[in-house]
Chain A
């Protein structure tokens, strides 16, 4: 199993540009999570999907951020327009969607390091 795949691994862009981060979850997993990590704020949950449906986007910082999951094997996180304060490592994670009381481990991708100049 290839694990969670994220692309690109590194992205450098200029303020005002659109940025799209991509994630391929583990096959068979039907929950997908986007997290952001900065030195100041640590690891934060941005949004998560169950069965391709967004469940909780309360962590999305502002309207410049949007996420989609058009099918079970692909998700995108878009920032438009980007700002220097968006510089961070963005992680995607996936897990099986189990019933109440069941444990499910989240598997994280390697992350995308975004730098906005």
Chain B
């Protein structure tokens, strides 16, 4: 699976959009971009995934650049409960039955 690079930490004001970047310059054509987050003292939680098109669900939006070498996770209206470590993970299609390889992630702190 391709390696990802994320900023170590970010701050965002409550109510504003939180934009979390991820670089995955070695991603290959059959690899998806997944985002998970881990709130303090809890297990990781799936947020969203995509291949090349932008995706949106009830939690977030995922913007993938045309060359697929980077992506941005957007939390449109951040709340204090969104404070967590966010992991960007690249994994191959059909990798549904494989384990996840977590990096260090981005510690997002939502400020009141």
Interface residues of A (CB under 8 A from B): 4, 31, 33, 35, 42-45, 48, 50, 55-56, 59, 91, 93, 95-111
The answer to whether B69 has its CB under 8 Å from any CB of chain A is no
Interface contact A33-B43, CB-CB below 8 Å: no
User: How many A-B residue pairs lie within 8 Å, measured between CB atoms?
Assistant: 65
Interface residues of B (CB under 8 A from A): 32, 38, 42-46, 49, 87, 93-94, 96-105
- The verdict on A55 contacting B97 (CB below 8 Å), with A42-B102, A42-B103, A103-B32 known, is yes
Provide a sorted-by-A list of 8 A–B residue pairs whose CB atoms are within 8 angstroms. Answer: A43-B38, A43-B102, A44-B102, A91-B44, A96-B96, A98-B96, A106-B46, A108-B42
Interface contact A45-B96, CB-CB below 8 Å: no
The docked-state distance in angstroms from the alpha carbon of A56 to that of B97 is 11
